[in-house]
Amino acid sequence: MPVFDRLIRDVTLATMTGGGAPYGLIEQAAVGITDGRISFAGPGSAVPKDAITPETQVESQPGHLLAPGLIDCHTHLVFAGNRANEFEARLTGVSYADIAKAGGGIKASVAATRAASEDELVALALPRLARLKAGGVTTIEIKSGYGLTLEDELKMLRAAIRLEEETGVTVLTTLLAAHAMPPEYADRADAYVDHICAEIIPAAAELADAVDAYCETIAFSPEQVKRIFAHAIAEGMDVKLHADQLSNLEGGALAAEYGALSADHLEYLSDAGVAAMAEAGTVAVLLPGAFYNLREKTLPPVEKLRAAGVPMAIATDMNPGTSPVADLALMPHMACTLFGLTPEEALAGVTINAARALGIEDDRGSIEEGKAADLCLYPVSHPRDLVYWIGGVKPVKVIKDGEDF
């Protein structure tokens, strides 16, 4: 047993390891940290005494809960502009699809983002990420997709990477050039897909961890997405998909066919899509913020996903048009009240299953020996309290790689 740099004891642990007690709960527990990683997690009575030295920082936190750092696995955090006018329009009965067709929606954010410099994008995104960080987020995925040119997509990815340098939050980047049709390619969708495949994906391979696409009647067809995914995989990149949000194009099955890390939204996911995702191990990422803000009526098929054993993650979908929310701690409550998840499923959705949706479950998302010591300390005694309160419970302390964050 390595010597502890830090020992947090007299806490309740929500390890989120799955199996055994709900939430992976351990009472009167302790966590030992060595070189930024978890070197012990278990009952306080089992802490090895020889791992504690006079140099070990020992903290007693009775009455507190220690849980994994939160992971926001689907965001569009980097953007410029404001779309409050669209929110107002939707309240008068204008649909999201009609707004998009009229030049609003994603295209409005594209115009503003193109006009902003990389430095401006970083400055605009920092307060959003600061709010997420204060709520316990230690890892985040950030997509491009508001540039839609080679230069602007790369600008967005560079800005996202700089946010990790500025804040210490672990950032995973996703290329979403197939988010909407740029005005330069109006009525030439296949030509734009050619451009994505031949130029944007190879140029972004050094900056992006994964490639995403928006498969929808108002965006890209399944055939076009397949071409994009084939090129991404050839570049050694993971893939994921905005799937079956507004209609059923069998996006879930398409994502599974290509071994996607996740398929996201899924309000119109079919039974065949559920089965394909279960077989492929593709995570279902549910986005209650967008569902709520768009006032959707069709629910994602949570019961079928549960029965098939498809892991369910939850994310903010933080974006300027359909989910302007920078509070991941709110999402588990919304997933329970809107979608019918249990509190345990909801908390798993922003920890271990969110890690699975990013392909980092071996390193983060649960409190287990060998994983990064990304932790949140809460002033509650049971993890269900984190989901019960509307807006969640804010942590009194966030630890990143073993250090106070």
Which residues are annotated binding-site positions for N-formimidoyl-L-glutamate? 146, 319, 321
Q: Please, what sign has the CA dihedral across residues 313, 314, 318, 323? A: positive
Residues making up the annotated binding site for Zn(2+) are 74, 76, 242, 317
243: exposed, middle or buried (Cβ count in 10 Å: 0-12, 13-18, 19+): buried
Amino acid code (one letter) for 182 = P
State the Cα–Cα distance between residues 263 and 173, nearest whole angstrom: 16
- 3-class SS shares of the chain: helix, strand, coil, % to 5: 40, 20, 40
Residues making up the annotated binding site are 74, 76, 83, 146, 179, 242, 245, 317, 319, 321-322
Nearest to 58 by CA among 10, 115, 91, 125: 10
Residues 6+ apart with CB under 8 A from 187: none
Contact between 266 and 249 under an 8 Å Cβ cutoff? The reply is: no
Residue by residue, DSSP assigns 19-62 as: SSSGGGEEEEEEEEEETTEEEEEEEGGG--GGG--TTSEEEE-T
Residues making up the annotated binding site for Fe(3+) are 74, 76, 242, 317
CA torsion 175-179-180-185 (nearest 10°) is 30
Residues making up the annotated binding site for 4-imidazolone-5-propanoate are 83, 146, 179, 245, 322
Residues 6+ apart with CB under 8 A from 30: 7, 8, 9, 10, 11, 40, 41, 42, 43, 44, 47
